Amino acid sequence: MSRVWNFSAGPAALPESVLRRAAEEMLDWQGKGLSVMEMSHRSPEYTSIFEKTRNDFRTLLNVPDTHEVLFMQGGAVGMNAIVPLNLLQGFEQAAFVNTGAWSKKTSKEFSKYGLARVVLDNANTRADASSACYVPECGALLDRVNGQQMAYLHYCDNETISGVEFTGQIEALASLLDCPVVADMSSNILSKPLDVASYGVIYGGAQKNIGPAGVTIAIVDKALLNRALPICPSAFTFGTVAENGSMYNTPPTYSIYIAGLVFEWLMEQGGVAWAQAQARNKADLLYNTIDQSSLYNCPVRQQDRSRMNVPFTLADESLNSKFLAKAADQGLVQLKGHKSVGGMRASIYNAMPLEGVQALVAFMREFEKSEA
């Protein structure tokens, strides 16, 4: 069997060694005669898996004691409702920076619970070719909130669809607004070190850099655990989930187990510092190839380009299907861009080795030559 290079945006490629280990342990986990999938979430065996997974995650991101790490369900889209339900007690509004489709979806959902103050809406897609996607400079946004108190400021650290990633400007805005920052890091968590203490909530669905779909991780400042609206469902109340060690109800046990194997793998590689360096190398290789070509174009401003999701178009769009078919012939799959923006997108999360990106750029150069 030969495995392909999988550039899917998510669910995405997992480290091969993790899949092999899960396969080995599928029928008989560590001599216990049963699969992890068949274990009670309250058994000593599963408790040991869960606690190691949570501790390893805390270690990887250097999560301080001020913050809880919660394993939840509902995905990042679920968090669009779960976060306001948990943080709005005593507040009516929150601030939003819209840099793309995911953050836009978040502010829209918020409107069911409170007044969404969109301090900047830059959710352009390639449909609007005149304004390439970019991360906003946060300076001149404050007048939009008229000095009113925001429950929090939400932004998406990496817009998976348009390939736009923040590089730090958000802290300045948050300190001016004087409210906690809530970050959707679904598609770039564990790809760089974080100063977790400076965030109120960081959340992410697992299916990119963490493991299989089904589990959502939320890192929550303990100071925010008592701000839930009374209507917040118990299973989604941060405080309740925290008090019950993420076992208020049955967690997605198998997804968490695989996430634990991914965390072990990442630690063996060198942790998030390794991931950051690796991401830079892979992204540079791909963006340089695009920038040096006359066939490929990346619509994202240089300094805002995502290290995880690399969108690009072909100058002649009629070549799109041929490009995808030829790439697939060479085992390079899932390169089609999101349907809302078209073109191509190569997602190169932690589990994509440099070798996979090298294979992609070799193919891209070859394809460009053959079409010249």
Q: Which residues bind ligand PLP (CB under 6 A)?
A: 10, 75-77, 102, 156, 160, 184, 186-187, 205
Nearer residue to ligand PLP within complex by CB, 74 or 353: 74
Whole-angstrom Cα distance, residue 193 to residue 266?
A: 13
Nearer residue to ligand PLP within complex by CB, 68 or 184: 184
The pair of structure tokens assigned to 188 is 């770039």
CA 242 → CA 118, 148, 221, 270, 354, distances in Å? 30, 30, 11, 29, 38
Beta bridge partners of 296: 314
**Least spacing, CB of residue 11 vs ligand PLP, in Å:** 9
Nearer residue to ligand PLP within complex by CB, 61 or 308: 308
Within 10 angstroms of residue 293's Cβ, the number of other Cβ atoms is: 17
Nearer residue to ligand PLP within complex by CB, 186 or 289: 186
Residue found by looking up tokens 């999360």 in the block: 349
**Least spacing, CB of residue 19 vs ligand PLP, in Å:** 20
User: Catalytic annotation on 208?
Assistant: yes
**Least spacing, CB of residue 24 vs ligand PLP, in Å:** 28
Out of 184, 192, 282, 304, pick the active-site residue: 184
Nearer residue to ligand PLP within complex by CB, 80 or 289: 80
Whole-angstrom Cα distance, residue 311 to residue 343?
A: 7
Nearer residue to ligand PLP within complex by CB, 158 or 246: 158
Out of 102, 192, 221, 282, pick the active-site residue: 102
Burial class (CB in 10 A: 0-12, 13-18, 19+), 257: buried
**Least spacing, CB of residue 104 vs ligand PLP, in Å:** 11
Out of 104, 192, 208, 336, pick the active-site residue: 208
Beta bridge partners of 297: 313
H or E, element range at 202: strand 201-205
**Least spacing, CB of residue 203 vs ligand PLP, in Å:** 9
Whole-angstrom Cα distance, residue 270 to residue 273?
A: 7
Q: Kindly write down the DSSP assignment for every residue of 84-127, as one continuous string.
A: HHHH-TT--EEEEEE-SHHHHHHHHHHTTTSEEEEEEE----TT
**Least spacing, CB of residue 27 vs ligand PLP, in Å:** 29
Alpha-helical runs (H) found in the chain:
16-24, 44-61, 75-87, 101-110, 170-177, 238-243, 253-269, 271-292, 320-329, 354-371
Peptide bond into 251 cis (omega under 30): no
Which residue number places its CB atom closest to ligand PLP?
A: 75
Nearer residue to ligand PLP within complex by CB, 156 or 279: 156
SS3 labels along 315-332:
CCHHHHHHHHHHHHHCCE
- What is the largest distance, in Å, between two alpha-carbon atoms of the chain? 63
**Least spacing, CB of residue 103 vs ligand PLP, in Å:** 8
Q: Is the Cβ–Cβ distance between 356 and 319 less than 8 Å?
A: no
Whole-angstrom Cα distance, residue 356 to residue 351?
A: 10
The pair of structure tokens assigned to 40 is 């009670």
Nearer residue to ligand PLP within complex by CB, 94 or 314: 94
**Least spacing, CB of residue 63 vs ligand PLP, in Å:** 20
* Residues acting as catalytic residues: 102, 184, 208
